[in-house]
Structures are given as C-alpha cells and as structure tokens.
C-alpha cells in the first residue's frame, strides 16, 4: 500500500508538472506573439525623416534617430531650429514597465542679462530682443544632442550626426516653405552679411530648387560629433561664437557656454479617464500645464456629445482659464510654480463650474491677463523604435531664422529666444499681453515656452503629439488629443481645422476653414468674438502604436511638407 501511495503521489505530481508545462508552453508563445512595433519617424521635412530612418535601420534606437532628425532639421529648416537654438525632448524608455524623461535643452539667458536689458530711456526697444546678437540666449540643442547620444543612444554621436553633416556639405534644394519663411524675414537677413551670404541668393529669396550649402555649419557639426558637448561649449568653436557675438554687440561670455547644461526633469504626468496617462512637458513649458488643466476640465463637461460649435465653445472656455494661469509659471529653477494647486481636483472643479454651457465668460472677469509672446516657427518630430522607445521633440529658434544673425565662420544661426521673456516688465508686448513677473529677464534663466511634446500612454496604445506654433501650440495639441479620444484616424488629428483662445485678447482665433457659417453664428450668439487669422497654421507630427497588434500609424501635417516613414515590415 505504501508503494502504491507513493506511486499515486508521484503520478499526481507528474500530472501537475505536465499541466504547468502545457500552460507555460501556451503562455510563452502568446507573449512572443505580441509583435514589436515598426520603427517609425514623422518629421516636418522628408530629408530629416530619411536621416532618422537611416539611423534606425543601421541599428540605432529612437534616441539615436532623434539626434539625426534634430541635426538634419538644423540644416534643412534653418528657419525653425538649429544648433543656435533650444528645445524640449520627451523620452519614453520602453520595456515591460516603461519610464519617461524630459530633457530640457531650452536656451538660457547670458549671465550679464538683467530685467532692464531691452529698456532705453525707460522704453522697451523690441527690435533689440528680436534681431541681432543681443536677442540671442545661450543655445541648448548641441548639449541636448550630446546628452541623447551619450546617455541613451546605441550608436556613436559621429554616426548619428553623419546624415546632417552630409546635407550641410552637399546641400539641399530650397522648397516653398523655406521661401515663405525667408520672405517673412528678408529685411533682417539682409541686415546681417553672414546670414545674407548663407541663406539668400544675391540678396534675394532663393528660387525653388536652388541648392543651399552650409560648409561652415558642416564643420561645426563635425566638431560636435568628434568632441561631444565640449566640441561646442569650449575650445575653438566656443571662442569663435563668443567673439563673434560680442563683436556685433552681444553680451555672451565663455562662462555662459562653459556653464550650460541640459536639465533632466520629471515629465508632468496626469491620470486621465479610461486608464490613460498624459505625459507632457513640465515648466519651463507652460503648455503641458495648460493641456492637463484643459483635459481635466473637459472630462467634467459633455464635449464628446456636443456638436461642432458647442464643442468649440467648451474648448475655448477651458483654454481661456488655462491660459489665465500661465502668468504663474516660469523657470522652475528660479520661480516656485504652484503646480499642485493648478492641477488640484477642487481647483479644477471650481474652474469648470464657472463655465456656462450657453454663454462665453468675459476674460476681464477672471482677473490679470497672462503673459504670452512667442514666435511660431518652431519644429516638431515624433519617433518610435521596435523596442517601444519613443521621442517627441519640439525645437525652436523663435522667429523664422531666429535673430537673423549668423556667427561668422561657424554657420551657427542664433535664436532670438530672449524675446520670450517679459522684456518690458512694466508694460505689454506686441500682442498686447501684459508682462509676467515670473518670466522676467534674468541671468541664467530659461524663458517660458509653449513647446509641448506629449504622449498619451495606456495598456493598449501609445500616442505621440506635438507641433510648432508659438502660443497656439497647447491648443493645437489639445485639439489633436480630442480627435484621438474620439477614435479618429491619425490623419484627422493633423488635418482638422484649428481654433485657439489664449485668455487675452478675448477672442477665438481660427483658421479660415475651421467653422462653417452656422457654427460661427452659434459661437457669436454665445458671446464669442471670432478672429479669422487668414491662414492655416501649425505642423503636427503624430504617431499611434496599437500595442496588441504592433501596428503603427503616423501622419505628417498636410499644411507642411513633412513625411512619415516606417522601417520595412519584419519577414514572417
């Protein structure tokens, strides 16, 4: 009986082991069967998308590809970004428990900067903060590229920068977007001999197809490629930059460059309905806060069921309140931004309760206007690799072609981001927006920004959003997110008509085709003033990863010339 009992126990154990083995054999293929996403790049210029995809196909990850795309855009979109500018990189590090990181490569004010830098005789001299070397803050893009490559990439910086170096040396054909931006800044470009030589053709906007070569920029990129961060912020190139800026009337120092570092920040992360997570830009971006507040307010309102005009009314009202709070936000290294209060449920419930479903709220009834002034010619791209790593990056030099000042012998076109500060502490800017004490000019400070690279992550999907567009960036990203939440295809996210409210001036700005006549009449009945801006704006680049199938959808804004590219599908 004993031997029989032991045999029975062995048999039972054997059956249990067999069952566990069968279960394991069923589960493991199921886990393995979940396909990896196809590596995808969506950028505002086909040559930049090609550069990013080539790096992915060479074994690089999303972070290497981000270096390649950002550097290529510095060459082919000098009106939107460049080595002389700055930006924000939102990273998703893939895996079973993804993590997120925000790299703040925003420009910093020179150490000699003071709140009255642009005041002469007590009056703000706006031209000084817009054109020329005094308008330029210390660039952050070179440091951002070096950081991405050394801390997060698989390939060397030399490999990731190679496509941009080739584009700068061999040249690229001028397109219609380049022409329109150059025409906008033609006078400023002509005023600087080096910029005129590099970006114009005999003092005029180049013809379409004109091959624009930048050998000096290629050499500066090679310095960055060989020496990393030090290749730009110290040594021969740094000396040339400082001497060139100061010779023309700027206030840079070698210490400004030597002390520049990117800041790794924790992204702003907010729980939304349906177990979705909003991961977006923290201060010194004001955009992430505005989007978070707007979405949390809209969750309390029937926006999804509303027809076009009523939805626009509700969106305008939440934006009005979110932009009102912008005045409280500044560089978090210098200003205590009250984020917990701005995102507190009871505070947002109070804001939502103040919204009438039938009547616009006059902005004057909400108090002090927010400070707001940014150039619109920024750039954005989105990247996803086969491991679930992702980058959403928004980069800028502020106005088209930045300060329109290129440091001789370097090919580095400088930003005019100093104008993003409150350059007139006692007055208002060119858009009649009053100054923010949280965003005053100060030594080493980063100016407030609306740049808002954004993810929405969930168990089923990852969506990536972002666009250029200055103060309209948050509203554009919000409208794209609403299309996503409405389960519309990615092409609809980037193509939908756009509208915007920024608290002051108290009006809904909109594209010509955003509303039909009935919708406009309804909005006017609600008490809104409509302002047709007379053109389409923005240049969104979006990606949607369906995690269960591995399918990846991407779209580039039809308003631009961008292109979304994918790696070839894996062979079965």
Helices 157-170 and 46-57 sit at what angle, rounded to 10 degrees? 150
- Which regions of 222-343 does DSSP assign to beta strands (E)? 263-265, 268-271, 277-280
Does the annotation place 291 within a ligand binding site? no
- Which regions of 137-186 does DSSP assign to beta strands (E)? 172-173
Tokens 């996503």 -> residue? 484
Q: CA 333 to CA 167: how far, in whole Å? A: 37
**If DSSP codes are grouped into helix, strand and coil, which group holds residue 10?**
helix
| Start-end of H helices in 94-140 | none
Tokens 């428990």 -> residue? 97
Does the annotation place 166 within a ligand binding site? no
Q: CA 455 to CA 393: how far, in whole Å? A: 11
Other CB atoms within a 10 A radius of the CB of residue 42 amount to: 31
**Paired strand residues for 500:** 509
List Cβ neighbours of 198 (8 Å cut-off, separation of 6 or more).
Answer: 212, 214, 216, 406, 411, 413
Q: C-alpha angle 343/344/345, rounded to 5°?
A: 115
36, 550 Cβ separation under 8 angstroms: yes
What's the length of the chain? 572
Does the annotation place 450 within a ligand binding site? yes
Does the annotation place 398 within a ligand binding site? yes
Does the annotation place 106 within a ligand binding site? yes
Counting other chains too, the contacts that 426-430 makes at CB distance below 8 Å and 24 or more residues apart are 427/124, 429/126, 429/371, 429/372, 429/373, 430/126, 430/373
List Cβ neighbours of 144 (8 Å cut-off, separation of 6 or more).
Answer: 70, 86, 87, 89, 103, 105, 262
**Paired strand residues for 229:** none
Q: Write the DSSP string, 31-64.
A: HHHSPPPPPEEEESSHHHHHHHHHHHHTT--HHH
Does the annotation place 564 within a ligand binding site? no
Of 73, 79, 103, the C-alpha closest to 221 is 73
Of the candidates 280, 337, 352, 378, the residue annotated as catalytic is 378
Helices 345-353 and 287-298 sit at what angle, rounded to 10 degrees? 70
73, 45 Cβ separation under 8 angstroms: yes
Task: Tokens for 182, please give them.
Answer: 């150059």
For residue 167, give the H/E element and its range.
Answer: helix 157-170
Q: Write the DSSP string, 82-103.
A: -TB-EEEEEEEE-SSS-EEEEE
Rg of the chain (C-alpha set)? 25
Please tell me what DSSP assigns to residue 348: H
For residue 123, give the H/E element and its range.
Answer: strand 123-124
Tell me whether residue 378 is one of the annotated catalytic residues: yes
Does the annotation place 397 within a ligand binding site? yes
Does the annotation place 3 within a ligand binding site? no
Residues that are catalytic: 378
User: Residue ranges for the binding site for L-glutamate?
Assistant: 106, 396-398, 420, 449-450, 470
User: Residue ranges for the binding site?
Assistant: 106, 396-398, 420, 449-450, 470
């Amino acid at each position: 009986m004993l031997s029989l009992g032991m045999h029975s126990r062995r048999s039972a154990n054997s059956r249990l082991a067999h069952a566990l083995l069968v279960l394991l054999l069923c589960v493991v293929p199921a886990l393995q069967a979940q396909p990896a996403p196809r590596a995808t790049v969506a950028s505002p210029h086909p040559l930049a998308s090609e550069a990013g995809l080539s790096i992915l196909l060479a074994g690089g990850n999303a972070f290497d590809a981000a270096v390649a795309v950002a550097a290529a855009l510095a060459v082919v979109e000098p009106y939107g970004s460049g080595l002389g500018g700055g930006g924000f990189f939102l990273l998703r590090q893939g895996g079973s428990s993804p993590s997120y990181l925000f790299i703040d490569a925003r420009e910093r004010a020179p150490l000699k900067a003071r709140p009255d830098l642009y005041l002469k005789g007590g009056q703000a001299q706006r031209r000084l903060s817009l054109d020329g070397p005094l308008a330029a803050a210390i660039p952050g893009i070179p440091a951002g590229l070096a950081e991405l490559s050394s801390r997060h990439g698989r390939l060397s910086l030399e490999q990731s920068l190679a496509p941009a170096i080739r584009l700068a040396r061999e040249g690229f054909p001028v397109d219609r977007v380049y022409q329109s931006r150059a025409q906008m800044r033609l006078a400023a470009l002509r005023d600087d001999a080096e910029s005129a030589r590099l970006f114009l053709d005999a003092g005029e906007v180049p013809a379409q197809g004109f091959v624009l070569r930048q050998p000096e920029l290629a050499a500066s990129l090679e310095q960055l490629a060989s020496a990393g961060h030090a290749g730009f912020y110290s040594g021969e190139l740094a000396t040339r930059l400082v001497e060139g800026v100061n010779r023309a009337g700027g206030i840079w120092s070698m210490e400004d460059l030597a002390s520049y570092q990117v800041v790794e920040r924790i992204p702003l992360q907010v729980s939304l309905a349906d177990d979705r997570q909003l991961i977006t830009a923290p201060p010194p971006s004001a955009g992430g806060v505005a989007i978070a507040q707007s979405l949390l307010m809209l969750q309390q309102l029937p926006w999804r069921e509303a027809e076009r005009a009523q939805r626009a009314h509700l969106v305008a009202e939440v934006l009005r309140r979110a932009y009102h709070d912008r005045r409280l936000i500044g560089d978090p290294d210098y200003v205590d931004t009250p984020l917990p209060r701005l995102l507190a449920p009871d505070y947002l419930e109070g804001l939502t309760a103040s919204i009438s479903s039938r009547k616009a709220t006059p902005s004057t009834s909400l108090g002090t206007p927010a400070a707001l002034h940014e150039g619109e010619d920024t750039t954005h791209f989105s990247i996803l690799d086969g491991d679930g790593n992702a980058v959403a990056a928004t980069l800028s030099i502020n106005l088209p072609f930045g300060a329109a000042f290129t440091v001789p012998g370097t090919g580095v076109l400088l930003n005019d981001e100093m104008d993003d500060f409150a350059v007139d502490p006692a007055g208002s800017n060119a858009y009649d927006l009053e100054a923010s004490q949280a965003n005053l000019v100060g030594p080493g400070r980063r100016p407030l920004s609306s740049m808002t690279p954004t993810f929405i992550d969930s168990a089923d999907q990852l969506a990536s959003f972002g666009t250029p567009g200055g103060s309209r960036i948050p509203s554009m990203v919000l409208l794209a997110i609403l299309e996503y939440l409405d389960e519309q295809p990615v092409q609809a996210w980037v193509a939908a008509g756009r509208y915007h409210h920024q608290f002051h001036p108290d009006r809904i700005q909109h594209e010509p085709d955003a509303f039909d006549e009935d919708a406009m009449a309804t909005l006017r009945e609600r008490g809104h003033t409509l302002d047709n801006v007379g053109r389409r704006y923005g240049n969104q680049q979006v990606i949607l990863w369906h995690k269960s199938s591995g399918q990846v959808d991407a779209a580039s804004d039809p308003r631009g010339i961008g292109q979304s590219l994918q790696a070839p599908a894996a062979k079965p």
